[in-house]
C-alpha cells in the first residue's frame, strides 16, 4: 500500500476517530513505495524535464518537490513571472513614449494598475505550473510534495507538506534542487514584509511603484527587474563592484547596452563601488557605499533596494554528507566532469544550478535530458560551448559562444563583423532600430566562435547562431543562406557577411 493512495480531506480527517488518524500517520511514515528506477529531487526546469524524459524512456519515475508547485524558481519566482512584468511594463512605456510618433494619441495619459499587472503575472504562473502537473499525469510520473533527504544512496525520506513522511526506494536519484538568491549578512531580505530590501523574489511582489530603487549588483537579474520599475517611473541606481555591468558578456555589446539603459530608462550607474553598510527600515533603505579600491564614503537613500549579487546552489539539508556526496568551495555538488553528472556515489547524479556551470534554466533542461538518456543506455549530449544567454530588457541582449575578450585571451587569431540595426529596413520601419549584431570567427577557417546581438528580438534571433555553431558552420554559411525580406534577421546575415567579406547595406 502506498501512502499517496490514501487521500483524506483535512476537515474529515480531523473529525475521524483517533485510531484512524494514527493509522493514517503510520501509513505515511512506515509504508514504502515500490522501488523506482529513478527519483528526481527538485521539480524545477532540470528536474521536471528529467522526470518526463525518464518516464518517456520507460523508467518508473517519481519527482519530489518541496515548493508544492512544479517549475522551480524559474516558473514560480524567476524567469516566467519576470517576463510577464517586463512585457506589461514595456507596453506601458512604449505607449507613453513611442505611440505618438506612430500617430497614436492618448498614450501620454495612461496609468498603470500594479495590482492588475501582478494578477496577470500570477495567472500565467498558475496556468503553467498546472500544465506541468498535467504533463506528469500524461507521462505517468509520480509526484510527491515535500522535502526529500537521503537516508542512504537508494532511499529518500520525504517530509510531506501535508504532514507525515514517505519513504521512496530508488535505483537512481537525480539531484536537481536548483539555487537561491545570495543574501548579504548586513542586508536581510524582507520580501514578504515591508519589501524595502528585497531579493529577486520580492522585486516581483511589489504592490506599488517605488519612487526610487537601488540595485546592488549589475548583472542580468538586477537589470531586468530594474527595467520593469524604471519603465513605470522609478528612478533606478545600479551599484556594481566591478568596472562594468554584465562582466562575463561581450564588452562591445555591453557598452552599447549600458548607454541604452542610461538613455531610454535614465538608469544611473555607480561602477567600481561597494556597499559597506545598510540602514533598512519599513519605509526605505539607506546604503553606505565607497569606491571598490577604498575612499570617501557616501550614502544612497531609496524606497526599495534590490540585492542581486548572484545565486548560490541549494544543497543544504539533503543528507548529502551522510552518503558521501562531495561539495566544492561554492557548495556545488561535485560531479565527474562537465556533461557527466555522476557524483561518485553509485546511483546518485546531479544537474542544473546545484552543479558547476551557468545557472540557466535551459542548461538545466539539457542536462536533465542528457542524464536520463545516459541512465537508459543512450548517449546523452550537452554542448556547453553553445548555450545561449539572454537579457530580456528592451532592447534585448543575447550571446552564444565566446566573447571577443575570451578569444583574445585564448590567443586565437580572429575576425569580427558587426552590423547595426539602424541599417536594417524592418527595424527602421517599425521604429525599433537600436542595437547591433556581431560575429566573431576564426581568421583561418571562418568557423563561428561567438555571436552577440542587441536588438528588439535578440532572444529569438540568437538561436540561428546557436544552430549554426552546433553544426560547426562558418560565417559564409550563414551569409549565403537566404533570409526573408524585410526581417530583422537580415541583420544577422549582414553581420556574418561583414565578418567573412563585406555587408551589402552598411
Interatomic CA distance for residues 322 and 48, integer angstroms: 26
pLDDT at 487: 98
For 144, half-sphere exposure in the C-beta direction (CA atoms, 13 angstrom radius) is: 28
Interatomic CA distance for residues 54 and 46, integer angstroms: 12
Count the helix, strand and coil residues of the chain and give each as a percent rounded to the nearest 5.
40, 25, 40
Report the sign of the C-alpha dihedral through residues 473, 475, 479, 484, in that order: positive
pLDDT at 7: 33
pLDDT at 25: 34
pLDDT at 108: 83
Residue 324 grid cell: 558521501
Q: What is the CA radius of gyration of the chain?
A: 25
DSSP string spanning 336-394? Answer: SBTTB-B-SSTTEEE-GGGSSS---HHHHHHHHHHHHHHHTTS-----GGG--EEE-SS
* Length, in residues, of the chain: 506
Extended strands (E) in 360-481: 389-391, 396-401, 414-420, 436-442, 448-455
pLDDT at 33: 47
Tell me the sheet residues that pair with 453.
Answer: 398, 437
Judging by beta carbons within 10 Å of its beta carbon (0-12, 13-18, 19+), is residue 371 exposed, middle or buried? Answer: buried
Per-residue pLDDT tens digits of the chain, which is 506 residues long? 333 333 333 333 334 443 333 333 333 333 444 599 999 999 999 999 999 999 999 999 999 999 999 999 999 999 999 999 999 999 999 999 999 999 999 988 899 999 999 999 999 999 999 999 999 999 999 999 999 999 999 999 999 999 999 999 999 999 999 999 999 999 999 999 999 999 999 999 999 999 999 999 999 999 999 999 999 999 999 999 999 999 999 999 999 999 999 999 999 999 999 999 999 999 999 999 999 999 999 999 999 999 999 999 999 999 999 999 999 999 999 999 999 999 999 999 999 999 999 999 999 999 999 999 999 999 999 999 999 999 999 999 999 999 999 999 999 999 999 999 999 999 999 999 999 999 999 999 999 999 999 999 999 999 999 999 999 999 999 999 999 999 999 999 999 999 999 999 99
Interatomic CA distance for residues 101 and 90, integer angstroms: 16
pLDDT at 32: 44
Please tell me what DSSP assigns to residue 101: G
- 87 CB contacts (<8 Å, ≥6 apart)? none
pLDDT at 276: 97
Interatomic CA distance for residues 372 and 376, integer angstroms: 6
Q: What residues act catalytically?
A: 485
pLDDT at 34: 59
Amino acid at each position: 500500500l502506498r501512502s499517496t493512495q490514501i487521500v483524506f480531506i483535512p476537515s474529515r480527517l480531523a473529525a475521524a476517530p483517533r485510531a484512524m488518524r494514527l493509522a493514517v500517520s503510520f501509513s505515511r511514515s512506515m509504508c514504502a513505495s515500490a522501488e523506482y528506477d529513478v527519483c528526481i529531487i527538485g521539480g524545477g526546469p532540470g528536474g521536471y524535464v528529467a522526470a518526463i524524459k525518464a518516464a518517456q524512456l520507460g523508467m518508473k519515475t517519481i519527482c519530489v518537490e518541496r515548493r508544492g508547485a512544479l517549475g522551480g524558481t524559474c516558473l514560480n519566482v524567476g524567469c516566467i513571472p519576470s517576463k510577464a512584468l517586463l512585457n506589461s511594463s514595456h507596453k506601458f512605456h512604449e505607449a507613453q513614449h513611442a505611440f505618438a510618433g506612430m500617430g497614436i494619441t492618448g498614450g501620454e495619459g495612461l496609468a498603470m494598475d500594479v495590482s492588475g499587472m501582478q494578477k496577470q503575472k500570477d495567472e500565467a504562473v498558475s496556468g503553467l505550473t498546472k500544465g506541468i502537473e498535467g504533463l506528469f499525469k500524461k507521462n505517468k510520473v509520480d509526484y510527491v510534495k515535500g522535502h526529500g533527504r537521503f537516508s542512504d544512496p537508494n532511499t529518500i525520506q520525504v517530509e510531506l507538506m501535508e504532514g507525515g513522511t514517505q519513504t521512496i526506494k530508488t535505483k537512481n536519484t537525480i539531484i536537481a534542487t536548483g539555487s537561491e538568491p545570495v543574501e548579504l549578512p548586513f542586508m536581510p531580505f524582507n520580501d514578504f514584509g515591508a519589501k524595502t530590501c528585497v531579493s529577486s523574489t520580492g522585486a516581483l511582489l511589489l504592490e506599488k511603484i517605488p519612487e526610487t530603487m537601488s540595485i546592488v549588483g549589475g548583472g542580468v537579474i538586477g537589470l531586468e527587474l530594474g527595467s520593469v520599475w524604471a519603465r513605470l517611473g522609478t528612478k533606478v541606481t545600479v551599484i556594481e563592484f566591478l568596472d562594468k555591468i554584465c562582466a562575463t558578456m561581450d564588452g562591445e555589446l555591453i557598452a552599447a547596452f549600458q548607454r541604452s539603459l542610461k538613455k531610454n530608462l535614465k538608469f544611473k550607474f555607480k561602477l567600481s563601488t561597494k556597499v559597506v553598510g545598510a540602514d533598512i527600515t519599513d519605509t526605505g533603505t539607506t546604503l553606505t557605499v565607497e569606491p571598490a579600491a577604498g575612499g570617501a564614503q557616501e550614502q544612497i537613500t531609496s524606497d526599495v533596494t534590490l540585492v542581486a549579487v548572484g545565486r548560490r546552489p541549494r544543497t543544504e539539508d539533503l543528507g548529502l554528507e551522510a552518503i558521501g556526496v562531495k561539495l566544492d568551495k561554492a557548495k556545488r555538488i561535485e560531479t565527474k566532469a562537465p556533461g557527466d553528472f555522476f557524483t561518485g556515489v553509485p546511483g546518485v547524479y546531479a544537474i542544473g544550478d546545484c552543479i558547476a556551470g551557468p545557472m540557466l534554466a535551459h542548461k538545466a533542461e539539457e542536462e536533465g535530458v542528457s542524464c536520463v538518456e545516459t541512465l537508459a543506455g543512450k548517449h546523452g549530449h550537452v554542448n556547453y560551448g553553445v548555450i545561449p544567454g539572454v537579457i530580456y530588457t528592451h532592447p534585448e541582449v543575447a550571446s552564444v559562444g565566446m566573447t571577443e575578450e575570451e578569444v583574445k585571451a585564448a590567443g586565437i587569431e580572429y575576425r569580427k563583423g558587426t552590423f547595426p540595426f539602424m541599417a536594417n529596413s524592418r527595424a527602421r520601419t517599425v521604429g525599433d532600430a537600436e542595437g547591433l549584431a556581431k560575429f566573431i570567427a576564426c581568421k583561418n577557417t571562418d568557423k563561428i566562435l561567438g555571436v552577440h546581438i542587441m536588438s528588439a528580438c535578440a532572444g529569438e534571433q540568437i538561436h540561428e547562431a546557436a544552430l549554426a555553431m552546433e553544426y560547426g558552420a562558418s560565417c559564409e554559411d550563414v551569409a549565403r543562406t537566404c533570409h526573408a525580406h524585410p526581417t530583422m534577421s537580415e541583420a544577422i546575415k549582414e553581420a556574418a557577411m561583414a565578418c567573412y567579406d563585406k555587408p551589402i547595406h552598411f
